[in-house]
């Protein structure tokens, strides 16, 4: 329950009290804002059925034991005085958990995707309006300096009205094999989300954000699983890397290489042995991979059902178009963008830390002008956008109003409608029409 109504806030910069629901890696990252800006954000409660995660995050933020809960029903019965919830539950639980939190009076910072179906996200939008609560979606790439500056250039009219947008996300072989072949988002039936919605709803959001104010009208896509399937398994492979595989030492997908030697994605791989503490020994890690740890499985012998590549095509109300390519299993991960307007174009790769603005015209022996926009880019995930998002959420709750990046559910929902429509278009081989929000 909130201590003060939104009307009481005015321009007073008070410290926001928040409860974390779902104490996994993403919500823990967002909650970290309270450690660096304690005068702005204070974590006062934790909800997670996993006792180890609940207490680990609770200890970090010095949350009283009486404010640590296994379930939302316990939280709501305790009636903790707080302003907001950071919801980092799994995809299929987002809407289910948000609805009672909204009814109780909490504003919400919600991990993406909003929900796992068009009907769910519309239901949550309606509920937010009914309870007059704020929901911001964790589309952190809007806050990455790279994309934020591109959006400002578009808003300024620098390249004129947009004619076409081309984006792509290249997912590395080790990330793809961890999260979308062996891991929690590998099977739509289990996680609730397709790969497009789990990984690229960021990109769908960016496209609709760049076209802000002009709605998408129809979408389609095509894709599938070509690489990570049983018939593609090389000779000598087994069912588990460290049990019956004759080529493990030479395989780039070796669980031992990725999780033990290179120490990548360990927050996924060691979830099953959390009881051993934050730093399991190498012997314990290897024993886990040899037993029933899902991350020890051969990538060609998993239960993955999500695509490893997908291409999306979108049309907007003003006649402009956009495409997005999702490609798993690349050597080098990156996100690319190319936006062509009536007066010029913008092109760049987020990880490079700069983009170029090009405009037609003969100049110094070239047939176009080019300006390079160099940005300070963080080594953090999502181009440094994670904590900038939380800071914006705090300022919105303090009554300052949003920024150009603010991810209100009202402004974020069209990207989700595009994603759901794209997946349906792929499954049925059709173009899918998209409703106006007031008609949804």
99-117: pLDDT as tens digits: 999 999 999 999 999 999 9
pLDDT interval class at 175 (50, 70, 90):
very high
As a whole number, mean pLDDT of residues 308-321 equals 98
Percent of the chain with pLDDT over 70: 95
Which pLDDT score, from 0 to 100, does residue 365 have?
85
Which pLDDT score, from 0 to 100, does residue 383 have?
57
Q: Which fold, 6-133? A: Rossmann fold (3.40.50)
Residue extents of the structural domains in the chain: 6-133, 142-228+304-439, 230-296
Q: Hey, do 6-133 and 142-228+304-439 end up sharing a CATH topology, with the first three levels equal?
A: no
The answer to whether residue 440 scores a pLDDT higher than 60 is no
> For residue 363, with 0-12 CB atoms within 10 Å meaning exposed, 13-18 middle and 19 or more buried, which class applies?
exposed
Question: C-alpha dihedral over 87, 92, 95, 100, to 10 degrees?
Answer: -70
Percent of the chain with pLDDT over 90: 87
The answer to whether residue 145 scores a pLDDT higher than 80 is yes
Dist. CA 84–CA 256, nearest whole Å: 41
pLDDT interval class at 1 (50, 70, 90):
very low
Which pLDDT score, from 0 to 100, does residue 306 have?
97
pTM: 0.92
pLDDT interval class at 437 (50, 70, 90):
confident
Which pLDDT score, from 0 to 100, does residue 164 have?
98
Which pLDDT score, from 0 to 100, does residue 379 have?
57
As a whole number, mean pLDDT of residues 45-56 equals 96
The answer to whether residue 406 scores a pLDDT higher than 80 is yes
Give tens-digit pLDDT for 14-45: 999 999 999 999 999 999 999 999 999 999 99
Give tens-digit pLDDT for 348-389: 999 999 999 999 999 888 899 999 999 876 555 555 688 999
Which pLDDT score, from 0 to 100, does residue 384 have?
67
When comparing pLDDT for 83 and 366, which is higher? 83
Which pLDDT score, from 0 to 100, does residue 8 have?
39
* CA-based R_g, the chain, Å: 23
Query: For residue 370, how many C-alpha atoms fall within 13 Å in the half-sphere facing its CB?
Result: 12
As a whole number, mean pLDDT of residues 87-108 equals 97
The answer to whether residue 10 scores a pLDDT higher than 70 is no
At 200, give phi and psi (nearest 5°): -115, 10
Give tens-digit pLDDT for 222-257: 999 999 999 999 999 999 999 999 999 999 999 999
The answer to whether residue 46 scores a pLDDT higher than 90 is yes
Q: Which CATH architecture has domain 142-228+304-439?
A: 2-Layer Sandwich (3.30)
SS3 293: coil
Strands, E assignment, 97-226: 107-110, 135-137, 162-172, 216-224
Which pLDDT score, from 0 to 100, does residue 12 have?
53
Which pLDDT score, from 0 to 100, does residue 9 have?
36
As a whole number, mean pLDDT of residues 183-204 equals 94
Which pLDDT score, from 0 to 100, does residue 101 have?
98
As a whole number, mean pLDDT of residues 398-414 equals 93
As a whole number, mean pLDDT of residues 201-223 equals 96
The answer to whether residue 399 scores a pLDDT higher than 90 is yes
Q: Which residues pair with 38 in a beta bridge?
A: none
The answer to whether residue 2 scores a pLDDT higher than 80 is no
Which pLDDT score, from 0 to 100, does residue 228 have?
97
pLDDT interval class at 78 (50, 70, 90):
very high
Q: Is the dihedral of CA 238, 327, 113, 88 positive or negative?
A: positive
The answer to whether residue 272 scores a pLDDT higher than 90 is no
Which pLDDT score, from 0 to 100, does residue 277 have?
78
Residue whose structure tokens are 């499985």: 297
């Amino acid at each position: 329950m909130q201590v003060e109504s939104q009307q009481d806030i005015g321009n007073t910069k008070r410290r926001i009290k928040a409860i974390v629901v779902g104490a996994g890696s993403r919500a823990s990252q967002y909650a970290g804002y309270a450690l660096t800006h304690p005068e702005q954000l204070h974590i006062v409660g934790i909800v997670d059925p996993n006792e180890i995660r609940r207490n680990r995050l609770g200890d970090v933020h010095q949350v009283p034991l009486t404010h640590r809960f296994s379930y939302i029903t316990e939280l709501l019965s305790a009636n903790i005085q707080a302003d907001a919830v950071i919801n980092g539950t799994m995809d299929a639980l987002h809407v289910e958990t948000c609805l009672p939190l909204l009814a109780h009076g909490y504003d919400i910072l919600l991990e993406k995707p909003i929900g796992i179906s068009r009907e769910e996200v519309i239901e949550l939008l309606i509920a937010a309006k009914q309870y007059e609560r704020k929901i911001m979606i964790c589309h952190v790439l809007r806050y990455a300096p790279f994309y934020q500056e591109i959006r400002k250039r578009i808003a300024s009219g620098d390249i004129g009205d947009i004619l076409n947008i081309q984006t792509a996300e290249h997912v590395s072989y080790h990330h793809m094999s961890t999260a979308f072949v062996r891991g929690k988002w590998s099977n739509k039936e289990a996680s609730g989300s397709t790969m497009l919605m789990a990984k690229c709803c960021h990109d769908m959001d960016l496209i609709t954000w760049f076209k802000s104010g002009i709605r998408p009208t129809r979408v389609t896509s095509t894709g599938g699983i070509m690489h990570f399937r049983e018939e593609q398994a090389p000779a000598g492979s087994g069912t588990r890397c460290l049990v019956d595989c004759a080529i493990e030492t030479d395989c780039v997908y070796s669980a031992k290489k990725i999780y033990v030697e290179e120490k990548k994605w360990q927050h996924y791989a060691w979830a099953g042995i959390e009881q051993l503490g934050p730093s399991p020994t190498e012997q314990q890690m290897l024993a886990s991979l040899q037993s029933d740890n899902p991350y020890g499985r051969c990538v060609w012998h998993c239960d993955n059902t999500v695509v490893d590549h997908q291409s999306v095509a979108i049309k907007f109300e003003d006649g402009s178009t956009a495409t997005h390519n999702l490609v798993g299993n690349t050597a080098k991960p990156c996100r690319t963008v190319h936006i062509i307007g009536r007066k010029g174009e913008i092109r760049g790769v987020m990880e490079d830390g700069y983009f170029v603005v090009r405009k037609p015209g003969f100049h110094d022996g070239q047939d176009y002008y080019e300006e390079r926009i160099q940005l300070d880019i963080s080594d953090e995930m999502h181009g440094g956008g994670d904590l900038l998002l939380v800071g914006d959420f705090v300022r919105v709750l303090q009554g300052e109003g949003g920024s150009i990046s603010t991810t209100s559910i009202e402004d974020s929902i069209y990207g989700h409608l595009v994603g759901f429509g794209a997946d349906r278009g792929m499954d049925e081989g059709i173009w899918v029409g998209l409703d106006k929000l007031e008609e949804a």
